[in-house]
Amino acid sequence: MLAAFTFALLCTAQSWAGSIVDSTGATVESKDPQRVITIAGNVSETVFALGLGDKVVAVDASSLFPAKTQELPKVGYYRNINAEGVLSQSPDLIVTTDAAGPPEVLEQLRGSGIPIAVLSAAQTMEAAQKRITQIGALLDRTDEAKVLTDKMASQLAAVVKPETPPKVLFIYARGAGTLNVAGTDTSADAMISLAGGTNAVTGYEGYKPMSAEAIIEAAPDFLLFTTRGLESLGGPEGVAKLIAIEQTPAGKKQQIIAVDDLVLLGFGPRTGEGVQELSEKLQP
């Protein structure tokens, strides 16, 4: 009797399967995956946050957190995935977002028969929570996923926004030669809004270089960078030397701030933490 009961439990464990409808409308099923490839920094971070980092066998180049991800094989940058690199790892599940590409590589991976879940890459708190929920469903971690999304919601609810929304200019920097300013429909724009600020630039979508005149006209109260971006410029002292910065309210008051790259732009499990940190730094 005991042996039969034990056998039944084992069969139940072995027959576990997760299923979601991904952003392409496809139904994706995973059956107790043991070799997972994650392609997107927020996806990789989520799988580790769910306690399943030991199942991840490879990641993309944007996956930098936790530190363990940097020790894993890379399958290219998420917008330029290497199909051979993915297939060589013999994965039984691939999780990515609809920002990944190129499209022909995704089709090749689908054609291989390996389950591939393409989640929405939308840059909102709701989308971040949905990604976590879907990853939890695929990996039999629905309870753990709910803990993460509930924590994000409580962190967001606890944010104390500035009484008067400051104008914030986000500059994506990788050295002084690579400076792009965030307009609308960007993760930086979304985070600025969640933290109680307003984007100093609303005349275009995405990222563009800005002239000195345009930066002065934007008149930001704060200059926002990622941590790595600010470091690439030599810190606040290096930023102050950039053309036009000293003529802005932010430059005059030395209100130059930074938040960790993935915390600020990743829209992963630490998004609530990022909103809290940014809101605190935007206080007068």
Instruction: Encode pLDDT of 30-67 as tens digits.
Output: 999 999 999 999 999 999 999 999 999 999 999 999 99
Q: Which residue has the tokens 């940097």?
A: 70
In a shared domain, residues 172 and 252: yes
Give the separation between CA 43 and CA 37, rounded to whole angstroms.
10
Percent of the chain with pLDDT over 70: 94
In a shared domain, residues 171 and 264: yes
Query: Is 12 part of a structural domain of the chain?
Result: no
Q: Strand, helix or coil at 181? A: strand
Q: Which residue has the tokens 């809101």?
A: 279
Q: Which of 115, 137, 156 finishes a domain?
A: 156
Q: Would you place residue 3 in the very low, low, confident or very high pLDDT band (cuts 50, 70, 90)?
A: low
CA-closest candidate to residue 96, choices 42, 33, 26, 17 = 42
In a shared domain, residues 98 and 224: no
- Pairing verdict, β 222-226 and 167-173: parallel
Q: Does 202 have pLDDT greater than 60?
A: yes
Q: Would you place residue 175 in the very low, low, confident or very high pLDDT band (cuts 50, 70, 90)?
A: confident
Other C-beta atoms closer than 10 Å to the C-beta of 113 total: 7
Q: Which of 156, 191, 221 finishes a domain?
A: 156
Length of the chain: 284
In a shared domain, residues 126 and 203: no
Give the separation between CA 64 and CA 135, rounded to whole angstroms.
18
CA-closest candidate to residue 152, choices 272, 72, 245 = 272
Per the rule left: phi > 0, alpha: psi between -120 and 50, beta: everything else, 51 is left
Q: Does 17 have pLDDT greater than 80?
A: no
- pLDDT at position 185 is 95
CATH number, position 208: 3.40.50.1980
Instruction: Give the H or E element holding residue 228.
Output: helix 227-232
First to last CA, the chain: 70
Question: The sheet that has 93-97: what strands, in order across it?
Answer: 56-59, 36-39, 93-97, 116-119
Determine the structural domain holding residue 44 and report its residue range.
17-156
In a shared domain, residues 74 and 129: yes
Report field, pTM of the whole predicted structure over 0.85:
yes
In a shared domain, residues 64 and 99: yes
Give the separation between CA 119 and CA 260, rounded to whole angstroms.
23
Q: Does 162 have pLDDT greater than 80?
A: yes
Q: Omega before 102 cis (within 30°)?
A: yes
Query: Is 45 part of a structural domain of the chain?
Result: yes
Q: Does 12 have pLDDT greater than 80?
A: no
H helices of 21-87, in order, are: 41-49, 83-87
- pLDDT at position 8 is 47
Give the separation between CA 277 and CA 267, rounded to whole angstroms.
14
How many domains does the chain fold into?
2
Instruction: Give the H or E element holding residue 169.
Output: strand 167-173
**Which residue type does 215 have?**
I
Q: Which of 156, 177, 192 finishes a domain?
A: 156
Give the separation between CA 27 and CA 63, rounded to whole angstroms.
25
Which residues, at least 6 apart from 9, have a Cβ–Cβ distance to it below 8 Å?
none
Average pLDDT over residues 264-273: 97
Percent of the chain with pLDDT over 90: 88
